[in-house]
Amino acid sequence: MAFLVILSGPARGRRVDLAERLVMIGRDKTCTITIRDDHVSRRHIQIGYDRRRDRHFAVDVGSTNGVTVNGTRLQRGALRLLDDGDLIEVGYSRLRYARNRG
């Protein structure tokens, strides 16, 4: 089971199991993961699952301040496949993607 752990920022310590669902991260209370940070857009980043590849991916859905994965900024709308241990930064928050294969 894959999951996200929020390492720093307002929602620090939270863990979210991903499974094969779509996860929206942002400031809006309707998001799967709500981060109360003025540097996070209402709908900032989407984490999805590609069944064919059996991989999760991240997409910057048009955020104002951008998203980085392992220090590299994502292009808006571009799909970025995630690997175990990837660090995702949104606003002042840092999240770690983990994938258990056992």
The confidence score (pLDDT) of residue 102 equals: 43
Q: How far apart are CA 23 and CA 101, in angstroms?
A: 20
For 82-90, what is the mean pLDDT? 97
Tell me the pTM. 0.92
The confidence score (pLDDT) of residue 101 equals: 57
**pLDDT-above-90 percentage for the chain:** 90
Of 84, 101, 99, 102, nearest to 17 by C-alpha is 99
DSSP string, 38-80: TTS-SS-EEEEEETTTTEEEEEE-S-SS-EEETTEEPPBT-EE
For 20-37, what is the mean pLDDT? 92
For 79-85, what is the mean pLDDT? 96
Q: How far apart are CA 88 and CA 52, in angstroms?
A: 23
Using the predicted structure, report yes or no on whether residue 19 has a pLDDT greater than 90.
no
Adjacent-strand bridge partners of 26: 34
Q: Which residue has the tokens 């258990």?
A: 100
The confidence score (pLDDT) of residue 78 equals: 92
